Structure 1
Amino acid sequence: MLTKRIIPCLDVNMGKVVKGVNFVHLQDVGDPVEIAEHYNRQGADEIVFLDITATHEKRKTIIDLVERTAEKVFIPLTVGGGISGIDDFKNILRAGADKISINSSAIKNPNLIYEAADRFGSQCVVVAVDAKKRDSQDGWDVFVEGGRKNTGIDAVEWIKKAEQLGAGEILLTSMDADGTKNGYDIELTKTVCDLVNIPVIASGGCGSLNDFYDVFNDAGADAALAASLFHYGELTVEQVKQYLKNKGIPVRL
């Protein structure tokens, strides 16, 4: 049985790690390189590094920050934000990233998923989806530009298409749950996990040890991403893994 992964997420804005609630009210948490190194020591399985304002500000991901982070961590590093074409993939992989996360650019040009998977392998291509439940409650819409813009695209249909185009993994963020600490969005996560045959990383809303258990046990996620819980020292990666192991969830200690 594959072990479940625990992944701290570094949302980076202007070279600093930040955290918000429902994608707004961002607060400075610290230096990304130091924080990444800290999680590497704690036993994180991977690190996700998202330059959250790059797309909105129409600029590229901060390459030197990626290089400095990659030098300090010895676990897979996923980088996203401001990726608009194959050259960005090449440059960021060259800077030391193991995977690239694309969101807005994949919506604008779905063929980028196919091109990147064809050139670098599916395992490098993570399609990030920020989903929000529609007012009608009959499904979820995809948002882009750091949650600022509703595309009107059905999230479940889009994820199915992303898999067909060659995505190796889905990073699924529930905008409704993000930063609330009320638990992962089990309904959304389970819907997607039941639909696709590639790994799904659940993101948004983790507030307790039990939330990690629920997203693995009830929703079938392959990995759980968390930010503020780890950033503010409420839990360590080690504590989470020990708890999950005791509850019978396979993890790498």
Structure 2
Amino acid sequence: MHKKRIIPCLDIKDGRVVKGVNFVDLIDAGDPVESARKYNDLGADELVFLDITATKEKRKTLAELVEKVAAQVFIPLTVGGGIRTVEDMQLILRSGADKVSVNSAAVKNPELVKKGAQAFGSQCIVGAVDADKKESGDGWEIFINGGSKETGIDLIEWVKELEELGAGEILLTSINADGTKDGFDIEMLKAVTEAVNIPVIASGGAGNIQHFIDVFQQTGADAALAASIFHFGEIAIKDVKKELENLGIPVRIEG
């Protein structure tokens, strides 16, 4: 059985780590290079590095900053934000990322996922998806541009398409749960993990260790991502893993 992964996320704006609630009200949470080094040492399984304003501001991810972060970590690094072309993907991978995450650009140009997978392999392409309940209450739709623009596209149809296009992983963020610390969106995650055969990273809503237990016991998520609870020292990654291991949930333990 594959080990479940615990992944801190570094949301970057203007070269700093930030964190907000429901994608807004951002506050400063530190230096990305220092944060990356810290998480590498604290037992994180991977890191996700998202330039959250890159797409909105029509700006490419800062490759120099990726290089600095990559130099500090010896765990897989996923980078997203403003990646619109295969050339952008190549730049980020050459800068030291192990995987690239595409969100808005993939919705606008699905062929980007296919071409990226063909060029670099599916294992390098992460389909990032921001979703929320449909107004009808029946199912979910995906949003783009940092969760600010609705698309009318059905979540389940889209994740299936991402898998068919060649994405090797889905990073699923619940807009409604993001930053609330009220727990992951179990219903949404169950629906997505049952719809695809590729790994799914749960994102949005982690507030305590029980939330990590719930997401692995109640859904098919392969990894759980969190930001503020790790950034501000509310929960230690090693404590999360210890509790998971005690419950028979397979995790990577250091030492």
Which bracket does the TM-score occupy, shorter chain normalised?
over 0.9
Residue correspondence of structure 1 range 218-229 to structure 2 within 5 A: 218-229=218-229
Residue correspondence of structure 1 range 189-204 to structure 2 within 5 A: 189-204=189-204
SS at match of 1:72: coil
C-alpha distance in 2 between matches for 1:229 and 1:30:
13
* 1:74 Cα deviation after fit: 0.2
* Alignment-derived partner of residue 30 in structure 2: 30
C-alpha distance in 2 between matches for 1:141 and 1:81:
20
* Alignment-derived partner of residue 106 in structure 1: 106
Deviations 1:4-60 (A, max 9, x none): 000000000000000000000000001001001100000100000000000000010
* Alignment-derived partner of residue 248 in structure 1: 248
* 1:248 Cα deviation after fit: 1.0
Residue correspondence of structure 1 range 164-183 to structure 2 within 5 A: 164-183=164-183
* Alignment-derived partner of residue 123 in structure 2: 123
Q: Which deviates more from structure 2 when the two are superposed, residues 132-141 or residues 71-80? A: 132-141
C-alpha distance in 1 between matches for 2:116 and 2:42:
32
* Alignment-derived partner of residue 59 in structure 1: 59
Which residue type is aligned with residue 131 of structure 2? Answer: A
How many aligned residue pairs are there?
253
* 1:237 Cα deviation after fit: 0.9
Which residue type is aligned with residue 251 of structure 2? Answer: V
SS at match of 2:242: helix
C-alpha distance in 2 between matches for 1:189 and 1:158:
14
* 1:220 Cα deviation after fit: 1.5
Deviations 1:165-210 (A, max 9, x none): 1000000000010001000000000100011000000000011101
C-alpha distance in 1 between matches for 2:144 and 2:42:
32
Residue correspondence of structure 1 range 70-89 to structure 2 within 5 A: 70-89=70-89
C-alpha distance in 2 between matches for 1:7 and 1:122:
20
TM-score, with length taken from structure 1: 0.99
SS at match of 1:49: strand
> Structure 1 runs of 4+ off > 4 angstroms?
none
* Alignment-derived partner of residue 184 in structure 2: 184
Which residue type is aligned with residue 240 of structure 2? Answer: V
* Alignment-derived partner of residue 138 in structure 2: 138
Which residue type is aligned with residue 247 of structure 2? Answer: K
C-alpha distance in 1 between matches for 2:162 and 2:220:
19
Which residue type is aligned with residue 90 of structure 2? Answer: K
Q: Does 1:17 align with 2:3?
A: no
Identity of aligned residues (%): 64
* Alignment-derived partner of residue 152 in structure 1: 152
SS at match of 1:173: strand
* Alignment-derived partner of residue 92 in structure 1: 92
Give the CA RMSD over aligned residues: 0.5
Which residue type is aligned with residue 138 of structure 1? Answer: D
C-alpha distance in 1 between matches for 2:206 and 2:135:
23
* 1:135 Cα deviation after fit: 1.8
* Alignment-derived partner of residue 238 in structure 1: 238
Gaps of at least 5 residues in structure 1 are none
SS at match of 1:60: coil
C-alpha distance in 1 between matches for 2:98 and 2:239:
26
Which residue type is aligned with residue 8 of structure 1? Answer: P
Q: Does 1:42 align with 2:54?
A: no
* 1:217 Cα deviation after fit: 0.7
Which residue type is aligned with residue 61 of structure 1? Answer: T
* Alignment-derived partner of residue 206 in structure 2: 206
TM-score, with length taken from structure 2: 0.99
Which residue type is aligned with residue 25 of structure 1? Answer: D
